[in-house]
Amino acid sequence: MEQDRRQQLEELLKQVRSSGVPVPAHIGIIMDGNGRWAKQRGYSRIRGHQTGARNVKTIVRFADKQLGVRYISLYAFSIENWARPSFEVSALMRLIRTYIVHERNELHAENVQFRLVGRREGLAPEILEEARRSTELMAKNTGLTLNLCINYGGRAEIVDAVRRIAAAGMPPEKIDERTIANQLYAPDVPDPDLIIRTSGEMRLSNFLLWQSAYSELYITDILWPDFDELELLKAVTAYQCRERRFGKTGEQLVKKGPA
Protein backbone atom coordinates (compact mmCIF):
# COMPACT_ATOMS: atom_id res chain seq x y z
CA MET A 1 0.00 0.00 0.00
CA GLU A 2 2.74 2.48 0.95
CA GLN A 3 4.74 1.51 -2.15
CA ASP A 4 1.70 2.17 -4.36
CA ARG A 5 1.16 5.52 -2.70
CA ARG A 6 4.79 6.49 -3.18
CA GLN A 7 4.66 5.52 -6.83
CA GLN A 8 1.49 7.53 -7.36
CA LEU A 9 3.10 10.48 -5.58
CA GLU A 10 6.13 10.36 -7.87
CA GLU A 11 3.99 10.08 -10.98
CA LEU A 12 1.77 13.01 -10.04
CA LEU A 13 4.76 15.15 -9.07
CA LYS A 14 6.35 14.44 -12.44
CA GLN A 15 3.08 15.31 -14.17
CA VAL A 16 2.77 18.61 -12.30
CA ARG A 17 6.36 19.60 -13.08
CA SER A 18 6.14 18.71 -16.77
CA SER A 19 2.66 20.05 -17.51
CA GLY A 20 3.87 23.39 -18.83
CA VAL A 21 1.37 25.15 -16.54
CA PRO A 22 2.83 27.02 -13.54
CA VAL A 23 1.91 25.76 -10.10
CA PRO A 24 -0.19 28.21 -8.06
CA ALA A 25 2.06 30.88 -6.58
CA HIS A 26 -0.31 31.38 -3.64
CA ILE A 27 -2.43 28.64 -2.08
CA GLY A 28 -5.01 29.31 0.61
CA ILE A 29 -6.18 26.37 2.69
CA ILE A 30 -9.31 26.10 4.82
CA MET A 31 -8.13 23.38 7.19
CA ASP A 32 -11.43 21.79 8.08
CA GLY A 33 -12.34 18.45 9.64
CA ASN A 34 -10.10 18.06 12.69
CA GLY A 35 -13.06 17.47 14.99
CA ARG A 36 -14.75 14.98 12.69
CA TRP A 37 -11.46 13.13 12.18
CA ALA A 38 -11.13 12.76 15.96
CA LYS A 39 -14.76 11.73 16.46
CA GLN A 40 -14.47 8.97 13.86
CA ARG A 41 -11.62 7.50 15.89
CA GLY A 42 -13.10 8.00 19.33
CA TYR A 43 -10.62 10.74 20.22
CA SER A 44 -11.22 14.14 21.75
CA ARG A 45 -11.60 17.14 19.43
CA ILE A 46 -8.40 18.54 20.92
CA ARG A 47 -6.45 15.53 19.69
CA GLY A 48 -7.86 16.17 16.24
CA HIS A 49 -6.57 19.73 16.34
CA GLN A 50 -3.16 18.52 17.53
CA THR A 51 -2.92 16.06 14.68
CA GLY A 52 -4.01 18.74 12.24
CA ALA A 53 -1.32 21.09 13.54
CA ARG A 54 1.36 18.47 12.92
CA ASN A 55 0.10 18.09 9.37
CA VAL A 56 0.83 21.75 8.67
CA LYS A 57 4.57 21.04 8.66
CA THR A 58 4.18 18.26 6.10
CA ILE A 59 2.13 20.33 3.68
CA VAL A 60 4.16 23.54 4.00
CA ARG A 61 7.48 21.74 3.49
CA PHE A 62 6.23 19.81 0.45
CA ALA A 63 4.65 22.88 -1.14
CA ASP A 64 7.88 24.79 -0.66
CA LYS A 65 10.58 22.26 -1.48
CA GLN A 66 8.84 20.10 -4.07
CA LEU A 67 6.41 22.47 -5.78
CA GLY A 68 7.98 25.89 -5.40
CA VAL A 69 4.83 27.53 -4.04
CA ARG A 70 5.62 31.08 -2.94
CA TYR A 71 2.80 31.75 -0.44
CA ILE A 72 0.54 29.60 1.72
CA SER A 73 -2.28 31.11 3.78
CA LEU A 74 -3.70 28.78 6.43
CA TYR A 75 -7.10 29.44 8.01
CA ALA A 76 -6.20 28.46 11.57
CA PHE A 77 -8.78 30.31 13.69
CA SER A 78 -11.66 32.45 12.47
CA ILE A 79 -13.41 35.29 14.26
CA GLU A 80 -16.47 33.04 14.38
CA ASN A 81 -14.49 30.30 16.16
CA TRP A 82 -14.66 32.30 19.40
CA ALA A 83 -18.24 30.98 19.68
CA ARG A 84 -16.98 27.44 20.26
CA PRO A 85 -16.90 25.94 23.77
CA SER A 86 -14.44 27.84 25.97
CA PHE A 87 -12.31 24.77 26.71
CA GLU A 88 -11.81 24.17 22.97
CA VAL A 89 -10.97 27.81 22.32
CA SER A 90 -8.40 27.77 25.14
CA ALA A 91 -6.86 24.58 23.80
CA LEU A 92 -6.67 26.02 20.30
CA MET A 93 -4.96 29.18 21.56
CA ARG A 94 -2.38 27.09 23.44
CA LEU A 95 -1.85 24.96 20.36
CA ILE A 96 -1.34 28.01 18.15
CA ARG A 97 1.22 29.47 20.53
CA THR A 98 3.00 26.12 20.80
CA TYR A 99 3.13 25.81 17.02
CA ILE A 100 4.59 29.28 16.57
CA VAL A 101 7.28 28.66 19.19
CA HIS A 102 8.22 25.06 18.33
CA GLU A 103 8.37 25.55 14.57
CA ARG A 104 10.17 28.89 14.62
CA ASN A 105 13.75 27.72 14.28
CA GLU A 106 12.97 25.00 11.74
CA LEU A 107 10.96 27.36 9.55
CA HIS A 108 13.78 29.87 9.76
CA ALA A 109 16.35 27.23 8.81
CA GLU A 110 14.23 26.40 5.76
CA ASN A 111 14.24 30.05 4.63
CA VAL A 112 10.51 30.51 5.27
CA GLN A 113 8.96 33.89 6.07
CA PHE A 114 6.23 34.00 8.71
CA ARG A 115 3.42 36.39 9.44
CA LEU A 116 0.26 36.43 11.49
CA VAL A 117 -2.77 37.66 9.52
CA GLY A 118 -5.91 38.80 11.33
CA ARG A 119 -7.17 41.16 14.00
CA ARG A 120 -4.75 41.62 16.88
CA GLU A 121 -7.48 42.74 19.26
CA GLY A 122 -8.65 39.83 21.38
CA LEU A 123 -5.54 37.71 20.97
CA ALA A 124 -3.46 36.95 24.06
CA PRO A 125 -0.32 39.10 24.46
CA GLU A 126 1.90 36.00 24.51
CA ILE A 127 0.62 34.89 21.11
CA LEU A 128 1.20 38.34 19.66
CA GLU A 129 4.69 38.45 21.15
CA GLU A 130 5.68 35.03 19.82
CA ALA A 131 4.27 35.91 16.39
CA ARG A 132 6.25 39.15 16.41
CA ARG A 133 9.46 37.31 17.28
CA SER A 134 8.92 34.81 14.47
CA THR A 135 8.09 37.52 11.95
CA GLU A 136 11.18 39.54 12.83
CA LEU A 137 13.47 36.50 12.84
CA MET A 138 12.36 35.41 9.37
CA ALA A 139 11.86 38.84 7.83
CA LYS A 140 14.85 38.58 5.49
CA ASN A 141 14.21 35.02 4.36
CA THR A 142 13.52 34.56 0.67
CA GLY A 143 11.60 31.29 0.53
CA LEU A 144 7.92 30.52 0.95
CA THR A 145 5.82 32.96 2.99
CA LEU A 146 3.55 31.29 5.55
CA ASN A 147 0.53 33.39 6.47
CA LEU A 148 -1.11 32.03 9.61
CA CYS A 149 -4.64 33.45 9.70
CA ILE A 150 -5.69 33.76 13.34
CA ASN A 151 -8.70 35.72 14.61
CA TYR A 152 -9.32 36.28 10.92
CA GLY A 153 -12.50 37.06 9.01
CA GLY A 154 -12.80 38.26 5.44
CA ARG A 155 -15.61 40.70 6.22
CA ALA A 156 -13.75 42.06 9.24
CA GLU A 157 -10.67 42.59 7.07
CA ILE A 158 -12.66 44.66 4.59
CA VAL A 159 -14.32 46.63 7.41
CA ASP A 160 -10.91 47.37 8.95
CA ALA A 161 -9.57 48.49 5.57
CA VAL A 162 -12.52 50.85 5.03
CA ARG A 163 -12.10 52.28 8.53
CA ARG A 164 -8.44 53.07 7.85
CA ILE A 165 -9.37 54.76 4.58
CA ALA A 166 -12.08 56.80 6.29
CA ALA A 167 -9.74 57.76 9.13
CA ALA A 168 -7.23 59.04 6.56
CA GLY A 169 -9.90 61.35 5.20
CA MET A 170 -9.67 60.17 1.60
CA PRO A 171 -12.34 61.68 -0.68
CA PRO A 172 -14.88 59.04 -1.82
CA GLU A 173 -14.21 59.70 -5.50
CA LYS A 174 -10.54 58.80 -4.98
CA ILE A 175 -11.32 55.36 -3.55
CA ASP A 176 -10.92 52.44 -5.95
CA GLU A 177 -10.14 48.74 -5.68
CA ARG A 178 -6.41 49.38 -5.29
CA THR A 179 -7.10 51.77 -2.42
CA ILE A 180 -8.93 49.05 -0.49
CA ALA A 181 -6.45 46.32 -1.43
CA ASN A 182 -3.60 48.42 -0.07
CA GLN A 183 -5.30 48.56 3.34
CA LEU A 184 -5.85 44.82 3.76
CA TYR A 185 -3.90 42.89 6.40
CA ALA A 186 -1.20 41.69 3.98
CA PRO A 187 -1.31 44.07 1.00
CA ASP A 188 1.99 42.85 -0.43
CA VAL A 189 0.77 39.26 -0.79
CA PRO A 190 -0.74 38.42 -4.20
CA ASP A 191 -4.28 37.07 -4.38
CA PRO A 192 -4.51 33.30 -3.99
CA ASP A 193 -4.50 31.35 -7.23
CA LEU A 194 -5.99 28.30 -5.54
CA ILE A 195 -8.11 27.86 -2.42
CA ILE A 196 -8.39 24.35 -1.02
CA ARG A 197 -11.07 23.32 1.44
CA THR A 198 -10.89 19.98 3.16
CA SER A 199 -13.81 17.96 4.67
CA GLY A 200 -16.21 18.51 1.77
CA GLU A 201 -17.98 21.69 2.91
CA MET A 202 -18.94 23.84 -0.08
CA ARG A 203 -18.27 27.33 1.23
CA LEU A 204 -15.51 29.85 1.88
CA SER A 205 -16.54 30.47 5.49
CA ASN A 206 -15.45 34.11 5.44
CA PHE A 207 -11.92 33.32 4.20
CA LEU A 208 -10.07 35.82 1.98
CA LEU A 209 -13.32 37.18 0.56
CA TRP A 210 -11.75 40.14 -1.22
CA GLN A 211 -8.69 38.26 -2.45
CA SER A 212 -10.53 35.18 -3.71
CA ALA A 213 -12.57 36.96 -6.40
CA TYR A 214 -10.81 34.98 -9.15
CA SER A 215 -9.28 32.13 -7.16
CA GLU A 216 -9.81 28.58 -8.32
CA LEU A 217 -11.65 26.52 -5.70
CA TYR A 218 -10.86 22.89 -4.89
CA ILE A 219 -13.08 20.99 -2.47
CA THR A 220 -12.12 17.56 -1.17
CA ASP A 221 -13.91 15.20 1.22
CA ILE A 222 -10.56 14.38 2.84
CA LEU A 223 -10.39 15.63 6.44
CA TRP A 224 -7.48 17.94 7.20
CA PRO A 225 -5.41 15.50 9.32
CA ASP A 226 -5.51 13.05 6.37
CA PHE A 227 -4.69 15.68 3.73
CA ASP A 228 -1.17 14.64 2.72
CA GLU A 229 1.29 15.38 -0.08
CA LEU A 230 -0.61 13.20 -2.53
CA GLU A 231 -3.85 15.07 -1.86
CA LEU A 232 -2.07 18.39 -2.36
CA LEU A 233 -0.76 17.17 -5.70
CA LYS A 234 -4.29 16.18 -6.72
CA ALA A 235 -5.43 19.72 -5.96
CA VAL A 236 -2.58 21.27 -7.94
CA THR A 237 -3.19 18.91 -10.85
CA ALA A 238 -6.85 19.95 -10.92
CA TYR A 239 -5.77 23.60 -10.84
CA GLN A 240 -3.46 23.09 -13.80
CA CYS A 241 -6.38 21.71 -15.84
CA ARG A 242 -8.50 24.83 -15.31
CA GLU A 243 -8.79 27.67 -17.82
CA ARG A 244 -8.45 30.94 -15.94
CA ARG A 245 -10.14 33.56 -18.10
CA PHE A 246 -10.34 36.56 -15.73
CA GLY A 247 -13.45 37.82 -17.53
CA LYS A 248 -12.10 37.20 -21.03
CA THR A 249 -13.22 34.61 -23.55
CA GLY A 250 -11.31 31.45 -24.29
CA GLU A 251 -10.48 32.79 -27.75
CA GLN A 252 -8.90 35.91 -26.25
CA LEU A 253 -6.69 33.79 -24.01
CA VAL A 254 -5.40 31.82 -26.97
CA LYS A 255 -4.43 35.07 -28.70
CA LYS A 256 -3.10 37.14 -25.81
CA GLY A 257 -3.04 35.09 -22.62
CA PRO A 258 -4.82 36.00 -19.36
CA ALA A 259 -4.57 39.53 -17.99
The model's pLDDT over 136-159, given as tens digits with 9 standing for 90+, comes to 999 999 999 999 999 999 999 999
**Enzyme catalytic residues:** 32, 81
Average pLDDT, the chain: 95
Phi-psi region of 17 (alpha: psi -120 to 50; beta: other; left: phi over 0): alpha
Enter the pTM of the model. Answer: 0.93
pLDDT value, residue 2: 86
**Whole-angstrom Cα distance, residue 122 to residue 202?**
29
CA-nearest of 181, 138, 178, 174 to 158 is 181
**Whole-angstrom Cα distance, residue 164 to residue 12?**
45
Percentage of the chain with pLDDT > 90? 92
pLDDT value, residue 243: 87
Q: Would you identify the CATH topology of the domain 2-256?
A: Undecaprenyl pyrophosphate synthetase (3.40.1180)
The tens digit of pLDDT for each residue in 197-234 reads 999 999 999 999 999 999 999 999 999 999 999 999 99
Task: Output DSSP code: residue 63.
Answer: I
Helices and strands in the chain, H and E counts: 9, 6
Q: Report the DSSP beta bridge partners of residue 145.
A: 71, 113
